[in-house]
Structure 1
Amino acid sequence: MTAPSEPGAARSDPGLSAIVGERRQLINLAYRLLGSLAEAEDAVQETYARWYAMSPEQQEAIASPGAWLTKVAGRVCLDLLGSARARRERYVGEWVPEPLPEPAEWTSGRAGGDPADRITLDESVNMAFLVVLESMTPAERVAFILHDVFRYSFTEVAEIVGRTPAACRQLASSARRRLRDAHAPATPAAQRARIVKDFKLAWEAKDIDALIGLLDPGATVVADSGGLVEAVAHQLEGAQIAHYALGLTERAPHLTLLERTVNGQPGLVIQENGGTVAVMAFEVAGDRITRIWGVRNPEKLRPWTAGPHHEDPSGRPPVEAP
């Protein structure tokens, strides 16, 4: 069986090249549906496996291979979403979607790290958006992403979801209501970047008053460690977040804070001894930070590190980044 990742084979077979050329679209779709790059890669691999399991005659009988691949990928993701809900209920601690760097900073350390596979960063992958998607039913999520983000007709969506076009229309409408109810009014990109930068500078300066001033009184932190590093002992809100951040720098004085794009939005990367130990995404409303998502699970930081498993050269355990 010829693997879809063999570029030589693709160059010699225009039909194969067209099939391989669908991979980026499929990765983009699967990541938005699953919120995990690792799971998205698995879903796309399964999609290609089903294509190559068919005979040449069966493949030639398919009028639009790209549409067929999308349909199969959508169904694979729909199945995975059903099982993912059960897995995430057993997940140790909070589960946060896998954060993504901007393409220019994507490292080659993970499998499937081909530049052609990189996710297109737009509003449909910002962390707040993905977190709301997690609250939807699998059918709502698939119907909404396929129709509203990827512009498939409800007739096409119905073939993937296994419901009528009218039912898919209702699913997408329900998903939109969830998003409207959950989202704060949009803050201009430049203003979000300024607030995140001010938060970084205040943290570095250990200016507790400035930190508190940048945080909404009801601001919360959601920290995802996957149980692999010590989690925050309790829910942090408002001023507690500022005190925790300063306490962190006291315990780990060699941390470096870097301004980076996280899922297309201004964010921060925390490094220690040159290795990434946490990635932070922010939700901003007006001039205040309302929510922080901190991802510390090493399995979710692979696109941010120099290799598939970064180890601190000092041999110390990971720090308690928020």
Structure 2
Amino acid sequence: MGFVLQDYQTTLKSRATLTGTGVHSGKPVTVHFLPADADTGILFQLTNGGDSREFRALVSEVGATDLCTMLGDPAGEHHIGTVEHLMATVFGLGLDNLIIEIDGPEVPILDGSAIAFVEAFDQAGVETLPVKRRYIRVVKPVRIENGASWAEFRPYDGTRFEIEIDFESPAIGRQLFASDINADIFRRDIARARTFGFMKDVERLWAAGYALGSSLENSLVIGDDNRVINMGGLRYPNEFARHKTLDAMGDLALAGARFIGCFRSYRGGHRMNAAALRRLLSDRSAFEIVETTRRERGRSAEMSAVSAPVYAPWMI
């Protein structure tokens, strides 16, 4: 096949910790990342005071997609918001199993990108586990549309994202980021792309109780003159499209297994990403569950379909 297959599941070698501020709550939060056994998946453990609650990182747990991707009920006492940058790192670095202990209802925004998660995971190291990894392979196109916006999965010999955005603001305009994905590409081309917003929207968001932790330290901000006002400027010429790719990777990581296929979108976002993933997983004729089989003493690999449990992690 035309891309590198990871035969076996992975986790972290050691514990890692990050502390920061929630972009919407403005409150401090600490996250601990712990190694986990094979077939654990990605498991969030929210500790809020003396109470605790677990959330599996699955699209079936998504309760809101308005300004971020949130696990749990946004109107309830227990939920975890802004999981997308962390989950994009899990996807990009190929982590299958992880326990995430978090002491607040929102993953910290850090610098608005995924690079701090990458550095923390790289320092902790990745361990290979003696259990086969399973993939979701797209076998027929699946598409959703909403006005001028659309998103689709297509069969592809690899894992690829083609994300196009189109904003009226001349600071952004129409941008495309298209690339196959592996850990090196994620680190170099995607992980440092920051979240962005418009100064004109800030007061409205503050009044609604959002973006209380947003600042020029963790967001690209476009001013009233349609220019990026951050002193350092852009990290990539098309940083906006790359950040939308980062978001899409995080949202699709909630499939519960890495997919083999191409995800394409135009003017998408968290809601459309989640809807497209739900559409794919609801059509059992659109995908199959596969794992690697090695031949000729491990020199070559191919994918073979396997029987999936009725309540497999990727099922919604």
Pair in the same fold by TM > 0.5 = no
- Structure scoring higher RCO (CA < 8 A, sep ≥ 6) equals 2
* Structure number with higher strand proportion: 2
Q: With structure 1 as the length reference, what TM-score do the two structures score? A: 0.28
- Compare the two structures and name the one with the higher helix fraction: 1
Q: Normalising to structure 2: TM-score of the pair?
A: 0.28
